[in-house]
Structure formats: C-alpha cells, structure tokens
Amino acid sequence: MNYIAVDWGTSNFRAMCVKQGRVVRTVRSEKGVARCPRAQLGEVLRQELLRLGEDYDAHLPVILCGMIGSNIGIVDAGYLPLPVSFRDLTARGIPLEHVLPNPVTVRPGICSREEHEICRGEEMQLAGALTLSDARVFAAVGTHSKWITVDPEQKKS
C-alpha cells in the first residue's frame, strides 16, 4: 500500500511517504500543532507535504496521528479505549475534506481508562512495528516516553 503517514505532535511535524511498504522520503520540522495558529493547520500541512518533492502525490491517502487529532489540533479524533484490535487501530478515523486534494484521515489515540494513560501518535508507530516484529513489549521514546505491552489475545490492556 502507498500512503503518506504524518505524526504531528505538539512540538514537531514528521511526514513519511510510504510506497510498497517502504519509507521512501521523510520530512521533519518544528512546526508542531502548538506552534501554529489553529486556523492555518491545513495550510501548514499542505506546505510541509510539498517538501516531499517528487514523492508527493495528490492521490495518496494521508493518515494523520498525534496531537493534530486532539482538542488543540485540526479536529478532535478522541481515543479508542483499550484493549483495541490492530484492525480498529488502523481502520478508525475522522475524514477531513477540503484540506488537501488527497483523502485525509485523522486517527484517534488510545487510552487506558483504569490507569489514565494515553497515546497519541505512538499507537500508529506501534501498528507499524507490529508488522515488522513479534515483540510484545515496545518502548515509545519521546517527550512522554512509554512502555507499551501488546497482548495478542486482547485479554488485557
């Protein structure tokens, strides 16, 4: 599958053009959601994706995750409560129309109601990691680092 994945956090923007399952180009900037006027987030997205150069294709689906899907982002995509299936994690989202010529979807984060833990962006990195590894414990390293445990039988969060 070919698509553009965007992990847009509070402080940083990262976009990856994926073709045939491989990342062919990545762009990064410090244009995090909190650093941009909310009314201009659509234009910031367009400008950042143009930096993908010849790998940008207006027909590729764009998948947004991270704080862009929060109450300070372009739309609040909410959270999926744990446990969540890989299918739900990768299939759910809010479509955005009229932002780009591309089909654009904002993915929800995930949350554990009992432990008051959330992920916004890390869950999509985990979805990608699960296609490459049979590991069941992952370190999500970043501003708010987390350990994520995967239960393949979904008996617990």
> Any idea of the CA torsion for 14, 131, 129, 58, to the nearest 10 degrees?
0
Helix (H, G, I), strand (E, B) or coil at 53: helix
Does some domain include residue 156?
Answer: no
Interatomic CA distance for residues 16 and 83, integer angstroms = 27
Assigned token pair, 151: 């239960």
Amino acid at 3: Y
* CATH number of the structural domain spanning residue 62: 3.30.420.300
* Separation between Cα atoms, residue 52 and residue 86, nearest integer Å: 28
Q: Is residue 141 part of a domain?
A: yes
State the Cα–Cα distance between residues 49 and 57, nearest whole angstrom: 9
Number of domains forming the structure of the chain: 1
pLDDT, residue 66, reads 94
Residue 32's CB: how many other CB atoms inside 10 A?
Answer: 18
Question: What pLDDT is recorded for position 93?
Answer: 94
Mean pLDDT by 10 residues, the chain (157 residues): 95 96 96 97 97 93 96 95 83 92 94 82 81 84 81 61
3-state class (DSSP) for residue 10:
coil
Domain of residue 140 covers 3-149
Domain assignment of residue 31, yes or no: yes
The closest of 145, 150, 146, 148 to 134, measured between CA atoms, is 150
Per-residue pLDDT, 154: 62
Residue 155 in domain: no
In a domain, 154, yes or no: no
pLDDT at residue 157, as a whole number: 47
Tokens 């940083």 belong to 12
- pLDDT confidence of residue 126: 80
Q: What is the DSSP letter of 40?
A: G
> Helix (H, G, I), strand (E, B), or coil: what is residue 92?
coil
